[in-house]
Structure 1
Amino acid sequence: MAKKNLALGRGLGAILSEVGQAYENNFSDNSELVVELDVDNIKPNPYQPRKHFSDDSVSELSQSISEHGLLQPILVYEDENNDYVLIAGERRLRATKLASIKTIKAIIVEMDLTKLREIALIENIQREDLNIIDLANSYRELIDDYQITHEELAKRIKKSRTQITNTLRILNLSTEIQEMLIEEKISQGHAKILVALEQKEQKIVLDSIVGQKLSVRDTESLVKKLKDSNESKGKIESFADRNKSPKTVLNSDPKIGELVSLLKKYLISASIKNNHLILDISDRSKISEVIKKLS
């Protein structure tokens, strides 16, 4: 386990350094590193952790590339079959294809292929436009693969432990809520409120958010009312339980039944009502005999 932790520490530093250096080279006097590649000859990154790309976002970038050109090259490596495989920049590649541009600026990187997945993860983690679900899954993959704590991951990617923990909690939401979050039908603010609720309550609040177009503040108010209502209901039920007649318990007690049968032998009618043993003595002469038996 310790060996893996060390590998992550060196790996992330090296990854960030290599990617950063490649971009810096492009903007300095090393422009010979940038080449034009046919977009159709670039294979996707098989380890791409980003599953969702906003159509609107890709469309906007496509328009920008058409007007101003691609400002930041993509990163690729050449595999054993002399094919180019994408390392970073899938959104840029998609936007370029959408703009019907046949070639794209790229930097060909020589690298240890064992780092390919980590590069994809880190590149996504550092993007501000990454949706919260893909970000949470990227955190989860790094934690699971390297068997590290939230604190250790926070130090390595320069994030707060609280931010990582809160982001990972989003994965506890139902699939329906996660999809709505990805589709931006609800916000991250809504999700943070929902994740603190039970599954049944999540559904109730979600329907209200979508149906009534509730803001985050409105949702907080709704949840507070829901919790206050449940708390009051719990208090009422608790009070009722304390004052509930234990008639059922008395009826099920064999000794009570034995006592009732014994009293009936002395012609004393006995019954249980509201947790009380009620005697109907029609023959007073039997009272002394009963007392004698009971004493």
Structure 2
Amino acid sequence: MDITLIKLSLIDEDKDQPRYQFSQDALEELANSIKEIGLLSPIKVRDTGDGRYKIIYGNRRYKASQMIGLESIPCIVSDATDEMDIYFEQIAENLTREDFSPIEEAEAFHKLMNEDGFRSSIKLLSSKLGKPESYIKNKLELLKFGSAVKKLIVSGTQIRKDCLTEDQLMPLKDLPIEFRDSLALTAARDELPVSDVKKIAKLFKDKSISDGTKQKLLLKTGSGLIETWSVFEQNRKEKLAREKQQQEEARLAAERKAAQVAALEAEQEASASTTKEHAESSGAQYGEATATAAATPITQNTHLQLEGNYIGAVEADDALLPSNTMHAVSLDKANYSITIDHAYAEAEALLVQLRNGDMQQLDACEQLSNDMLIKLQQLQDLWRTIMRESQA
């Protein structure tokens, strides 16, 4: 690498190079250092072909040397001619400098990605500059802010009055533009820590707060906004607690209702099962009693024995009784009618005894009448079956 002394009068600045912000205090400090110990690092230039040179990097050293009146400075002369390669080299060199501002980086990345002659992808920038893609994307987010905010962006993480770090700005980057810049300027003025900026951003992102209310909040100071956030957060937590309690109460009520329904269904099922068993048992008992009664002709002085006791005489018309037994009845209409008449005759006999006061065992009477009703229902169902079969 050859180093050549070149007169300052033959060197031109590159107005399109990535770095353009220079602190006057920093320049004066650098100039005093060069005056005392000399320029320790040469600048890099390229030959423009007309006897002049254009700076690739080293603008600050060039300016500081001018300030102290140097006639010549040491330079590295590059033979590079490709504009993209030169620009990549300028960015790479400046990325190593602490005073290369984040907004200068962002604008350089944007230029490489969007201007004609470059049109680079984030992937290419990442590989060329040795920076993660996320690093480049975050820098590009800074370009969302207005010029007033961009002028305040500085390197590093130290919070300073009327300055903004990247960490302070990142929580605000996705807010609508009508809130974003105003809140950024408030953060710079009031030296808000990043944690407070995050709380304020959360407040302005909440959709339950109207835009009109948010516009009024912009008039508050940073401390006023934090106080508003605290009240809002407390109300939000209380609301969530109430909703959770209501949900729990609704869940318990639903469980109680389900348990009641299940208990009622179980009770109905048990009741139905008991009724069915009782009906089947009563039907069987009545069938046996009826078969016996059918086998024995009933006359006016005949006595029926129920549950082992005589309960009185039964009055009935012998002409209505069948001459055969109940179990011999077939499923034709004629025999079915005789069976029905027999049942009615027994019922009439019971009614006579009740009216005459001859029935002493009321429980036995009630049981027999219930059994007869069940049997009549069975006979009715049987008749419907016969009718359906006859119509088929």
1:231 aligns with 2:200: no
Match of 1:156 among 128, 131, 144: 128
Query: Which residue number corresponds to residue 103 of structure 2?
Result: 133
| Contact 1:125 1:138 (C-alpha < 8 Å) held by counterparts | no
Which sits farther off after the overlay, 65-74 or 76-85?
A: 76-85
1:174 aligns with 2:151: no
TM-score by length of 2: 0.47
Measure the CA separation in 1 of the matches of 2:204 and 2:49: 60
1:124 aligns with 2:94: yes
Measure the CA separation in 2 of the matches of 1:168 and 1:141: 11
Query: Which residue number corresponds to residue 96 of structure 1?
Result: 65
Partner SS for 1:221: helix
Partner SS for 1:86: strand
Partner SS for 1:49: coil
Gaps of 5+ in 1: 1-21, 23-32, 235-295
| Contact 1:47 1:120 (C-alpha < 8 Å) held by counterparts | no
Question: Residues 189-246 of structure 1, C-alpha deviation per residue, up to 9 Å, x if partnerless?
Answer: 2222221221121134134223423222322232234445x53559xxxxxxxxxxxx
Query: Which residue number corresponds to residue 3 of structure 2?
Result: 34
Measure the CA separation in 1 of the matches of 2:147 and 2:23: 19
Which sits farther off after the overlay, 118-127 or 195-204?
A: 118-127
Structure number, greater radius of gyration: 2
Per the alignment, do residues 58 and 203 of structure 1 end up closer, same or farther by CA in structure 2, a change over 3 Å counting? same
| Contact 2:175 2:204 (C-alpha < 8 Å) held by counterparts | no
Which sits farther off after the overlay, 154-163 or 53-62?
A: 53-62
Query: Which residue number corresponds to residue 190 of structure 1?
Result: 168
Measure the CA separation in 2 of the matches of 1:111 and 1:219: 45
Q: CA deviation at 1:170?
A: 0.8
Give the superposed CA RMSD.
2.5
Gaps of 5+ in 2: 156-161, 212-392
Per the alignment, do residues 117 and 164 of structure 1 end up closer, same or farther by CA in structure 2, a change over 3 Å counting? closer
Query: Which residue number corresponds to residue 281 of structure 1?
Result: none
The number of residue pairs the alignment matches comes to 202
Per the alignment, do residues 128 and 84 of structure 1 end up closer, same or farther by CA in structure 2, a change over 3 Å counting? same
Q: CA deviation at 1:136?
A: 0.7
Match of 1:218 among 171, 178, 196: 196
Query: Which residue number corresponds to residue 14 of structure 2?
Result: 45
Question: Residues 139-183 of structure 1, C-alpha deviation per residue, up to 9 Å, x if partnerless?
Answer: 112222443432332122111111111111111112221122269
Higher relative contact order (CA 8 A, sep 6+): 1
| Contact 2:14 2:56 (C-alpha < 8 Å) held by counterparts | yes
Measure the CA separation in 2 of the matches of 1:153 and 1:176: 28
Match of 2:177 among 199, 204, 219: 199
Partner SS for 1:97: helix
Which sits farther off after the overlay, 65-74 or 200-209?
A: 200-209
Per the alignment, do residues 143 and 215 of structure 1 end up closer, same or farther by CA in structure 2, a change over 3 Å counting? same
TM-score by length of 1: 0.61
Partner SS for 2:30: helix
Measure the CA separation in 2 of the matches of 1:107 and 1:211: 43
Measure the CA separation in 2 of the matches of 1:222 and 1:164: 26
Partner SS for 2:41: coil
Partner SS for 1:231: coil
Query: Which residue number corresponds to residue 82 of structure 1?
Result: 51
